[in-house]
């Protein structure tokens, strides 16, 4: 009983710490609020179920973000009639910003902010993830690499490429 109480308490602390950052990480990938909500909820349920599998070899944040990224990819895959998408499946597609069903939690009155998200969504998946996790979540490249199954050097390059493309997009 004491162990169960600790597990729940520990999980609640984890949830309090990460719920917003995980939600927004997913939201930036899937755009739709309802989809992001579903994927975020599923992410934390999976974290709770599989916490014993966390070995402690990687950072906890990277492990959590990895699960969240996989849930977002699973959701994006469902939209295309697949079980999930891999990072390689997500190709540059400028229309992807409009894949998501419209909802009332998207407000493009802030034109510059809306255009930036469009720019991000046109990027290949690894560049998108590198940019989002570096820019919005301020994660070190080593953590981004753990979350994406890549290397720090690769993620640093992906971030640079992403930023270059975004600046070009915004300047056009």
Partner 1 sequence: MKKEFNIEQEVGKRMPYSTPDGFFDQLEDNIMAQLKEEKKEESRRPAVMRVLRSNWKSIISLSVAACAAVLLVVRHNVPEEEAQQPYGFNNVELAYSNLSTEDQQFLIEIYSESEDEELFNYEEN
Q: Which residues bind partner 1 (CB under 8 A)?
A: 12, 15-16, 19-20, 23-24, 27-28, 31, 33, 37, 40-41, 44-45, 48, 105-110, 112-114, 116-117, 135-136, 163, 166-167, 170-171
- Per the CB < 8 A criterion, the answer to whether 64 and 39 are in contact is no
Q: How far is the CB of 39 from partner 1 (least distance, A)?
A: 11
* Shortest CB 25 distance to partner 1, Å: 12
What gap in Å lies between CA 172 and CA 168, rounded to an integer? 6
Smallest gap from residue 166 Cβ to partner 1 (A): 6
C-beta closer to partner 1: residue 15 or 153: 15
Nearer to partner 1, 86 or 136 (CB): 136
CB atoms near residue 53 (< 10 Å): 8
Query: Least Å distance between CB 91 and partner 1?
Result: 23
Between residues 39 and 85, which has the closer beta carbon with respect to partner 1? Answer: 39
Sorted by sequence, the CB contacts under 8 Å of residue 27 that are 6+ apart come out as 33, 36
User: Which letter, b or e, does each residue of 100-123 get, where b requires 16 or more Cβ atoms within 10 Å of its Cβ?
Assistant: beeeeeeeeeeeeeebeebbbbbb
Nearer to partner 1, 88 or 138 (CB): 138
How far apart, in whole angstroms, are the C-alpha atoms of residue 28 and residue 32? 9
Q: What is the closest distance, in whole angstroms, from the C-beta atom of residue 88 to partner 1 in the complex?
A: 26
Q: What are 86's two structure tokens?
A: 């891999």
| 34 vs 89 by CB, closer to partner 1 | 34
């Amino acid at each position: 009983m004491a162990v169960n109480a600790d597990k729940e308490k520990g999980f609640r602390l984890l949830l309090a710490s990460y719920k917003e950052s995980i939600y927004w990480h997913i939201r930036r990938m899937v755009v739709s609020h309802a989809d992001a909500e579903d994927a975020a909820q599923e992410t934390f349920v999976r974290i709770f179920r599989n916490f014993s599998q966390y070995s402690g070899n990687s950072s906890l944040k990277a492990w959590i973000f990895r699960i969240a990224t996989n849930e977002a990819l699973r959701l994006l895959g469902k939209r295309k009639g697949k079980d999930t998408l891999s990072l390689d499946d997500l190709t540059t597609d400028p229309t992807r910003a409009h894949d998501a069903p419209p909802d009332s939690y998207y407000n493009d009155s802030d034109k510059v902010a809306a255009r930036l998200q469009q720019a991000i969504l046109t990027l290949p998946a690894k560049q998108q993830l590198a940019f989002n996790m570096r820019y919005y979540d301020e994660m070190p490249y080593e953590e981004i690499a753990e979350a994406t199954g890549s290397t720090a050097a690769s993620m640093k390059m992906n971030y640079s490429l992403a930023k270059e493309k975004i600046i070009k997009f915004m300047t056009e």
